[in-house]
């Protein structure tokens, strides 16, 4: 039986970077006889334009049936003024939640060829390889009640609810412990247990699970300290597990340590390792349509998809090695360009990866 991928190119630079990722996917599909097929659906602003909603039923239906989803990026100023409940971001949040994609894996890896691109001193970041495991379908992003209400005195009040049940904490903790086992066996759980009860429970539950993974060294840190340590001594970290909001913030910070958010893929997995794979960066409307966006994060997302959902490790490694070779050749999109290297556009970069395969 062939395995099927639903591609959601999305908005802004999404279609441009996805076109290159598709070329790479087609190449490895042939090379490794993977038997994958794929089709396209709409998500985000482009779906609002066609269907009036960011996540149309046809898209959700196709995504539910697919074995994996490959996403470009969603959103842009064109849709910023429309009603909150149907903005492009809502489509993204809804597909995460409808498909139960609770485990968000965000690697922050520094490519040796790009070490100078970090805003930190090279010796602090050289060899950096952190994996942030962010809970993606709970916490304050989804907690009820939420809203903006009018108080008796006529003043407006905004409110959200940060809530995690034991089972939600347990399942993400298991994912993180297991990933730590496959890496350097160090897991840091990030909380704000000194102030917030919800994260006090988080810390307790993660600690209760730890004896099941005796080979993994578990530690805890408050989120403010973790944010500081990430820029102070980032190489002390291996796997970091945390809730939805802290994970959103810390993963951007970790991405910046690498100096090139245009290089970082991510995976959002359900209980059965079905996943949605997407670059960490956004839709970059300011450079959309110019053919200058970096397609490598999306190409590396294809590699992650092959590894986690399709268990095609050799094909995943081949893509990652091809990206390394293209960097060795000195090819750079403008976001990672530096003197002495060769500036190329989106398409040339994608085709160079295909050639390197
Ligand atoms: C991310 C993004 C999203 C989030 C936005 C676009 C809703 O920042 O994937 O990190 O906050 O989860
Ligand atoms: Mg974010």
Show me where the domains of the chain are located.
1-105+274-357, 129-257
Average pLDDT over residues 58-75: 97
Contacts 24+ apart (CB under 8 A), 203-211: 205/166, 205/169, 205/170, 205/173, 206/169, 206/173, 206/241, 209/170, 209/173, 209/174, 209/177, 210/177
| Residue given tokens 């997407």 in the structure block | 278
Percent share of the chain, pLDDT over 90: 94
Look up 252 and say whether it is catalytic. yes
CB of 270 sitting under 6 A from ligand 1: no
Q: What CATH topology corresponds to 1-105+274-357? A: Isopropylmalate Dehydrogenase (3.40.718)
**In a 3-state reduction of DSSP, which class is residue 21?**
helix
353: enclosing H helix or E strand: helix 346-356
Query: Cα of 248 to ligand 1 centre, how many Å?
Result: 7
DSSP 97-116: HHTT--EEEEEEE--GGGGG
Is there an atom of ligand 1 within 6 Å of 16 CB? Answer: no
Give the whole-angstrom CA distance, residue 262 versus residue 142: 28
Q: Is the pLDDT of residue 333 over 70?
A: yes
Are both 1-105+274-357 and 129-257 of the same fold?
A: yes
Is the minimum distance from the CB of 92 to ligand 1 under 6 angstroms? yes
Beta bridge mates, 109: 129
Compute the distance between CA of residue 286 and CA of residue 76 in angstroms, rounded to an integer. Answer: 9
CATH topology of domain 129-257: Isopropylmalate Dehydrogenase (3.40.718)
Choose the catalytic residue: 252, 273, 337, 343.
252
pLDDT above 70: residue 1: no
* Residues 165/201, Cβ–Cβ less than 8 Å: no
Res 112: pLDDT: 87
**Options 111, 162, 192, 274, the catalytic residue:** 192
> Among all chains, which residue has been given the structure tokens 């000195």?
330
Average pLDDT, the chain: 96
Element spanning 187, H or E: strand 186-191
| pLDDT for residue 341 | 95
**pTM for the model:** 0.94
The pLDDT tens digits of the residues spanning 220-256 come to: 999 999 999 999 999 999 999 999 999 999 999 999 8
Give the 3-state secondary structure of residue 240: strand
pLDDT of 221: 98
Pick from 55, 71, 80, 92 the residue to mutate for probing ligand 1's pocket: most ligand atoms within 8 Å of its CB: 92
For 67, phi and psi rounded to 5 degrees? -85, -25
pLDDT at 311: 95
Atom index in ligand 1 nearest the CA of residue 244 equals 12
Q: Tens digit of pLDDT for each residue in 253-300?
A: 999 898 788 899 999 999 999 999 999 999 999 999 999 999 999 999
Ligand 1: residue whose CA is nearest its atom 7 = 89
Q: Which residue has the tokens 């993606």?
A: 136
9-13, 122-126, 194-198: which range is least confident on average?
Answer: 122-126
């Amino acid at each position: 039986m062939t395995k099927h991928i639903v591609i959601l190119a999305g908005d802004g630079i999404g279609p441009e970077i996805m076109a290159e990722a598709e070329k790479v996917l087609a190449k490895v599909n042939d090379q490794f006889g993977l038997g994958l097929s794929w089709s396209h659906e709409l998500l985000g602003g482009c779906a609002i334009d066609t269907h009036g909603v960011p996540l149309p039923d046809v898209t959700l239906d196709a995504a539910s049936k697919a074995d994996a989803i490959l996403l470009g990026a969603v959103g842009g100023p064109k849709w910023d003024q429309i009603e909150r409940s149907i903005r492009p971001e809502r489509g993204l949040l809804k597909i995460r939640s409808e498909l139960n994609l609770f485990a968000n894996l965000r690697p922050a890896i520094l490519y040796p060829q790009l070490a100078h691109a970090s805003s930190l001193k090279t010796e602090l970041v050289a060899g950096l390889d952190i994996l942030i495991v962010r809970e993606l379908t709970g916490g304050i992003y989804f907690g009820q009640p939420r809203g903006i209400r009018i108080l008796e005195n006529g003043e407006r009040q905004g409110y959200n609810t940060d809530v995690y049940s034991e089972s939600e904490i347990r399942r993400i903790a298991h994912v993180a412990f297991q990933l730590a086992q496959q890496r350097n066996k160090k897991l840091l759980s990030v909380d704000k247990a000194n102030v917030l009860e919800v994260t006090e429970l988080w810390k307790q539950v993660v600690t209760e699970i730890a004896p099941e993974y005796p080979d993994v060294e578990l530690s805890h840190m408050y989120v403010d300290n973790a944010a500081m340590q990430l820029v102070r001594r980032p190489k002390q970290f291996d796997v970091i597990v945390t809730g939805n909001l802290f994970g959103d913030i810390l993963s951007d910070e970790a991405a910046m340590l690498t100096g090139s958010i245009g290089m970082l893929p991510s995976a959002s997995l359900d209980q059965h390792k079905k996943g949605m794979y997407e670059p960490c960066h956004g839709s970059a409307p300011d450079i959309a349509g110019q053919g200058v966006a970096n397609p490598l994060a999306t190409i590396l997302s294809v590699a992650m998809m092959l590894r986690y959902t399709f268990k095609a490790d050799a094909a995943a490694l081949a893509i990652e090695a091809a990206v390394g070779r293209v960097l060795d050749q000195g090819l750079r999109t403008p976001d990672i360009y530096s003197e002495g290297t060769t500036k190329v556009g989106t398409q040339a970069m994608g085709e160079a990866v295909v050639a390197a395969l």
